[in-house]
Amino acid sequence: MFEHNDPNRIQLNSNGQLRHFLTTEGLSRELLTEILDTADSFVDMGAKQIKKVPLLRGRTVVNLFFEASTRTLSTFELAAKRLSADVLNLNISTSSTSKGETLKDTLMTLEAMHSDMFVVRHADSGAAHFIASQVTPHVAVINAGDGRHAHPTQAMLDMLTIRRHKGSFEPLTFAIVGDILHSRVARSQIHALRTLGASEIRVIAPKTLLPRHIEAMGVKVFTDMRQGLKDVDVIMMLRLQKERMTSALLPSESEFYKLYGMTTEKLAYARPDAVVMHPGPINRGVEIESAIADGPRSLILDQVTNGIAVRMAVMSMAMSGQMVEKQLQQSAPAAN
C-alpha cells in the first residue's frame, strides 16, 4: 500500500495547470470543466476521415499496467495514437519487475528511453501518486486506476457523458449502486460530482458493500432500491469486484441481482427520463439486465466513446502543463 496524501502538491504545476492526473479529489470546478470542454472538442474526431491531431507528436507514452484491463488500456492507447504519440504497452507480467527489479528501477529504465508519459494502473492504492513523486520532472503520470483509491479518467468520462445528455449538473440527483466498498470509480465520481455542483448524490448497496463513514463524503446512504432510486436522474451501476473481496460479503449473486440488480421494474422507481450508466465490464444478470444495458436509456456505449475523448484531453493537458512548468523552471534563475 502506498501513501497518497495531498496529491495536488504534485498534481498541479506552479501555475495551477494539470501536470499529472492522479485523482479528481481536490481539483477545482474550473479545472474539471476545462477537462470536459477540451474533451468535448475531441468527441467527434472518431467520425472524421483523419482521426489524428499532432498535439503529442514526437512524444512517447508508456502504458504501465500492473493490472489487466482491456477497455481502459485500449482506450488510452487509441487516445495517445489519435494525439500522434508513440505508444509502448508494457506487459508487467513478463517484465523485469517479476524478476525482482524494483518499481523505481523500472521507472528509471523507462525514463532512460526518453519516455514522456506514464499511464499507470496498479492494484495498490496510491501507486500512481508514488510514481508521480519519483519520476523526473519532464514525465507526466496519468492514473488509470489504483487499488480502491481512484480512477479519475473514468469519473471524468462519466461526467462528460452526463453533461452531454443532461446539461448542467446542479439540478440532478445521482444514485451510485452496487459494490461501493471496493470501487475506486465510485470515489472518483463522488468527488467530481460534488465539485461540479450535483444537487444530491446517493449510494445504494447492501451494508456489507458500504465503506465505513461513507456519509463523510457528502452522500446519502440507502440499502433499499425503491427508496434510493426515487426521483433519481442518473443511475450509475457498479460491478461486483469479486477479485477484491476477501470474505463472503453476499449470500449469492442471484440474491444480489434480486435486490440490487438494475431491471426494468426497478428503473421505474426513478424519474421517467432517468438514464443508466455502467463503467464496465458488465455482468449481465448480476448488476444489470440486458433489456436495460441495451435499451434506449442506457449510456454505456456513449461512455466508451467519451472515454477516448477524455483521455485525449487529460493527456494533452498534462503534457502542456509539464512543458509550462519546465519553461517556468528554466526562466526562474534569469528572473533572480
Q: How many CA atoms lie less than 13 Å away from 112 in the CB half-sphere?
A: 6
Handedness of CA 120, 126, 127, 132 (dihedral sign): positive
Is 99 within any annotated ligand binding site?
Answer: yes
Is 239 within any annotated ligand binding site?
Answer: yes
Handedness of CA 235, 241, 246, 252 (dihedral sign): positive
Is 280 within any annotated ligand binding site?
Answer: yes
- Helix (H) / strand (E) element for 318: namely helix 300-335
Is 72 within any annotated ligand binding site?
Answer: yes
- What is the Cα 29 distance to its own chain's centre? 17
Q: Which three cell numbers stand for residue 23?
A: 485523482
Helix spans in 25-83 (H): 29-40, 71-82
Q: Contact 57/84 with Cβ under 8 angstroms? A: yes
Q: What Rg, from alpha-carbon coordinates, does the chain have?
A: 20
State the Cα–Cα distance between residues 205 and 183, nearest whole angstrom.
12
Q: Where are the beta strands (DSSP E) in 132-244?
A: 140-146, 173-177, 200-204, 220-222, 234-237
Is 154 within any annotated ligand binding site?
Answer: yes
Could you tell me the maximum CA-CA distance found in the chain, to the nearest angstrom?
Answer: 68
Give CA angle at 104 (103, 106), nearest 5°. Answer: 65
Is 284 within any annotated ligand binding site?
Answer: no
Binding residues for carbamoyl phosphate: 71-72, 121, 151, 154, 280-281
Binding residues for L-aspartate: 99, 184, 239
Binding residues: 71-72, 99, 121, 151, 154, 184, 239, 280-281
